[in-house]
């Protein structure tokens, strides 16, 4: 999978939705920014949690966005790998498959 192209396409689709239902999009954006800002937990740790949920829920786009955001917040490849390990414990085979996608996304989106 080409993660850069995947996220560009998703952003294009989100732009179409934002134009169609701006109130819902603004509400989600406000929730996103409020929940993921620095607080008792760092942005990095919140992004790793969001990635874990994206893997568990098998959301490819969530994986891409949260891998990128976790990296931008200072997460390393090893931290992504350990997050995936916890996902596998909790989610079994499907988390293993989607967790592997998270490492692929990390490598492509960070140039690792």
Domain map of the chain by residue range?
A: 3-110
- Residue 110 tokens read as 């960070």
> What pLDDT digit, counting tens, does each position of 20-37 carry?
999 999 999 999 999 999
Closest of 29, 22, 82 to residue 51, by C-alpha: 82
Looking at residue 112, its pLDDT comes to: 73
Looking at residue 92, its pLDDT comes to: 92
Looking at residue 23, its pLDDT comes to: 98
> What pLDDT digit, counting tens, does each position of 39-98 carry?
999 999 999 999 999 999 999 999 999 999 999 999 999 999 999 999 999 999 999 999
Tell me the whole-structure pTM to 2 decimals: 0.91
CA atoms within 13 Å, Cβ hemisphere of 103: 14
Whether residue 105 is predicted with pLDDT greater than 80 in this model: the reply is yes
CATH 1.20.1290.10, domain 3-110, yes or no: yes
């Amino acid at each position: 999978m080409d993660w850069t192209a995947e996220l560009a396409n998703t952003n294009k689709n989100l732009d179409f939705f934002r134009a169609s239902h701006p109130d819902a999009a603004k509400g989600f954006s406000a929730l996103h920014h409020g929940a993921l800002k620095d607080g008792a937990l760092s942005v990095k740790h919140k992004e790793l949690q969001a990635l874990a949920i994206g893997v568990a829920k098998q959301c490819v786009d969530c994986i891409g966005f949260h891998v990128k955001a976790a990296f931008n917040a200072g997460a390393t490849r090893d931290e992504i790998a350990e997050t995936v390990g916890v996902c596998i414990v909790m989610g079994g085979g499907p988390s293993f498959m989607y967790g592997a996608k998270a490492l692929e996304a990390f490598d492509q989106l960070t140039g690792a």
